[in-house]
Structure 1
Amino acid sequence: MSQKPSLVAITVQAKAAALIAAESAGVFVNDEGSLAGFLEIEALFNRVWLLPPGESAIPCELLRSISHAGCNVSAARDQAGRIIGAAAAIVTPQSQSMYSLIAGVLPGISDRGVGFALKQHQRAWGLARDLTAMTWTFDPLVSRNARFNLSKLGAYASAYAIDFYGPMQGEMNANDESDRLVAVWPLTSAESAACSEERPIPVRRPVFQPKDVLRHGPDGDPVLVAANNALWCRVPTDIVALRKQNPQVAADWRRSIRSTFTDVFASGHIARGVSRDGRYRLAPGGTE
C-alpha cells in the first residue's frame, strides 16, 4: 500500500510549483511588506472592481495590519517591477486553515496565469506554516472565476451563502445581491498538487437527452441536468455584461441559481469542477 506524501514533501512540491507558475506567467511573486506596495495594491483592487473615487475594495491600512499580524499579503510584479496582481489571506484561529480575503489581477492580463501564480504562492506560504486548507467565497454566477477556483486550482464547494455581503456597489456588481459559494481548497490533496503542476482533472460539457433535464433557466434553456453520474448546473457566460444590459434578467438568474444550488447541496452534492461553457459538475456525496 502506497503511503501519502508527508507535509514536508508536499511543501517542497508546492514551493517548486509556485516558482514554475510565476516564471510561466512572467512575474515575480513575493510577500508584500511596504506601505508603498500596499498603496499600489489598494489602487489595483479598485481598478479590478471598477470602484468609483472615494471607495476602496480593501484599504492600504488594513493590508498593512494584515501583513503586520503575520498573515499573507502577496504581490505579483512584472519585469519592470510594477504590481499587476495581488492577494491577501488571514489565518483562521484554532484551525489549520487560512481564509482568502481578496485576490485580483489588472484587467487585460488575466489570461497570462498571474492569478494562478498568486494562488500557488499562497498555497506554498500556507503549507510552510503547517496550514492544510484555504477557504474563500466567490460569486457562483461568474463562471470564469468558478472554473478557475474549482477546475484550475482543485477546490470544491458544498455551501451556499445568501447575500453574504449585502448589496454590492460598483460598476462590476451593479447593486446585485451578494450570494456566494464557499470554496474549500485542500492544500495537501493529490488533486491540488496535480493542479499546481497544471494537470487538472478535465471537466467536459455533458451530453444529455431531454429526459435528463431537471430545471430550465430564465432564458428557457436547461439549467440543471443529470448526466455522467452527476448533476450539471449552467450559469450565464458573462453575468457582468448581463447586469449592465438587463439588470432584471440578471436578478432572475440570481434567484434561479440560488434555488438550484440550495436544493442540490441539501441533497448531498458537492461542486467539483466547472466546464469551459460554464457548467458546474455536482458530484453526489463528494465522490468523483
Structure 2
Amino acid sequence: MTLDRPPGVSIRTVRDVAGLAAVADYFSDVWQTPRTAPPYPAEVLHSLVHAGGAVHAAYVGTRPTGASVAVFGPGGDTYSLVAAAERGLGLAVKQAQRDWALGVGARTMRWTFDPLVGRNARFNLVKLGATGTEYLVDFYGPMADGVNDGDESDRVTVTWELGELGKLGEPSPPYEPGEGDRETAPATHTAPDGGTLARRDPDGRRIWCRVPEDIVGLRAADPDLALRWRRAVREVFVAAFAEGFTATGMSRDGWYTLTRRATA
C-alpha cells in the first residue's frame, strides 16, 4: 500500500554518513538539544544501519522534515527506536518503516511514546490502529532534553500488527466506539485540575482516562503541575494494565479508552 504524500515531499532510506548526520541534527532540533549532543548521534545511527537496522527520512527539497529509526529484534519483531515528523508527514514516515519491516520478514512493530502527549496517542492508536500493550514507569530515568526535562519518563509500549492495515490512511473519526458511554460512567479519580480524571463503566470492560491538553507547554509553564498529572495518570494506567486492560483509543478531547475483553 502506497500513501499519497504532500507535494514536494520525498522519503528515502538513509545510509550515507552525511545523510545520517543531517538526521541526527534534525532529532536535536526536535528534542531541543545542542547539535553537539544529539539524542541519536550520527555514529550511533551509522552503527544501527550497519547492524541491519533502517533509518528513513522525509525531505522537502534537501531539508529533513521527518525521520525514524528501526531495528530488527528477537522473535521476528521490529522495534521503532525513534520517529518524529512535521505535521502531516508522520503517516508517510511510519508507512516507510512498515514497508521496510515487512520486507525483512517482520509482522509486528513496537515502540514507546509518552502517554501524556495526547496527539501522539491519537496518531498511534487511532490513525495507525496500534494498541497500547504495556505501561513503563520512568522508563528512561531523568531526561535533560528541552522537551522532557523536569518530568518523569513514563512510556506506553504500542504494538502494531503490520499485516493488518486497519485504519492506516483513513481519516481519523471524531469519536471512538463506545465513547458516548463515557459521560454516564461513574468517575473514579480526580485530575490535578479538579475535573474528572478517569471513569469506569459498570460492566468493567472499559476505562476512560483524561490527559492534559498540552503537556509539553504545561511542563514549561508549571513543572510541578505537570508532574502531578504524570503521577495521577500513572496511577490509573498501572492499575488498569495490571487488570488486563490495553489502550485502544484516544478521543479528540484528550480521553483514552482502555478496554478489556470479556472473560468466558
Q: C-alpha displacement at 1:52, in angstroms? A: 3.3
* Fraction of identical pairs, as percent: 40
Question: Structure 1 residue 155: deviation in Å?
Answer: 0.8
User: Which residue pairs with 1:225 in the alignment?
Assistant: 199
> Which runs of structure 2 are paired with 1:130-149 in the superposition (5 Å)?
130-149=105-124
Aligned twin of 1:4: none
Structure 2: gaps of 5 or more residues: none
Give me the whole-angstrom Cα distance separating, in 2, the residues matched to 1:154 and 1:61. 33
Please give the TM-score of this superposition, normalised by the length of structure 1. 0.84
Match of 1:81 in 2: 62
Q: Encode CA deviations 1:87-106: one digit per residue, 9 max, x unaligned.
A: 0011103x11101111112x
Counterpart among 81, 92, 98 of residue 123 in structure 1:
98
Structure 1 residue 200: Cα displacement: 5.3
Aligned residues of 1:75 and 1:83 also touching (Cα < 8 A): yes
Query: Aligned partners of 2:223 and 2:125: how far apart in 1?
Result: 27
Select 1:90's aligned residue among 71, 75, 97.
Answer: 71
Inter-CA distance 210–155: structure 2 relative to 1 (3 Å threshold): closer
Q: Secondary structure at the match of 2:167?
A: helix
CA distance in 1, matches of 2:56, 2:135: 27
Q: Indicate if the aligned counterparts of 2:66 and 2:83 stay in contact, CA closer than 8 A.
A: yes
Alignment map for 1:93-108 (pairs within 5 Å): 93=74, 95-105=75-85
Q: Using structure 2 for the length normalisation, give the TM-score.
A: 0.91
User: 2:188 and 2:163 mapped to 1: Cα distance?
Assistant: 35
Q: Find out whether 1:185 has 2:154 as its counterpart.
A: no
Q: What is the correspondence of 1:1-288 to structure 2 with a 5 Å cutoff?
A: 16-17=1-2, 20-21=3-4, 23-24=5-6, 26-78=8-60, 80-93=61-74, 95-105=75-85, 110-111=86-87, 113-189=88-164, 193-198=165-170, 203-204=175-176, 206-209=180-183, 212-227=186-201, 230-285=206-261
Q: Whole-Å Cα distance in 1 between the matches of residues 131 and 7 of structure 2? A: 25
Partners of 2:185 and 2:201 within 8 A in 1 = no
Separation of aligned partners in 1, 2:47 and 2:182: 51
What is the distance in 1 between the residues matched to 2:226 and 2:55? 33
Distance, in Å, in 2 between the alignment partners of 1:283 and 1:25 is 38
Q: Which has the higher helix share?
A: 1
Alignment CA distance shift 1:104-1:25 (3 Å): farther
Q: Secondary structure of 1:166's partner?
A: coil
Aligned pair in 2 of structure 1 residues 131, 149: CA closer, same or farther (>3 Å)? same
| Aligned partner letter, 1:282 | L
Alignment: residue pair count: 259
2:25 touches 2:35 (CA, 8 Å); kept in 1? no
After TM superposition, give the deviation of residue 206 of structure 1 in Å: 3.9
Matches of 2:64 and 2:36, distance apart in 1: 21
Where does structure 1 lack aligned partners over 5 or more consecutive residues? 1-15
Shift of 1:25: 6.2
Query: In structure 1, the residue corresponding to 2:99 is in which secondary structure?
Result: helix
CA RMSD of aligned residues (A): 2.1
Match of 1:250, SS state, is: helix
Q: Distance in 1 between matches of 2:102 and 2:171?
A: 20
Between the aligned partners of 1:221 and 1:25, the Cα distance in structure 2 is: 43
Per-residue CA distance 1:209-253 (angstroms, 9 max, x = gap): 466211111111111113595211100010011011111111101
Residues 277, 26 of structure 1: alpha-carbon distance in 2 compared, 3 angstrom cutoff: farther
**Cα distance change on mapping 1:123 and 1:209 into 2, 3 Å:** closer
Q: What is the CA distance between 1:54 and its match in structure 2?
A: 3.2
Deviations 1:116-144, CA, capped at 9 Å, x for gaps: 10101111111112100011111111111
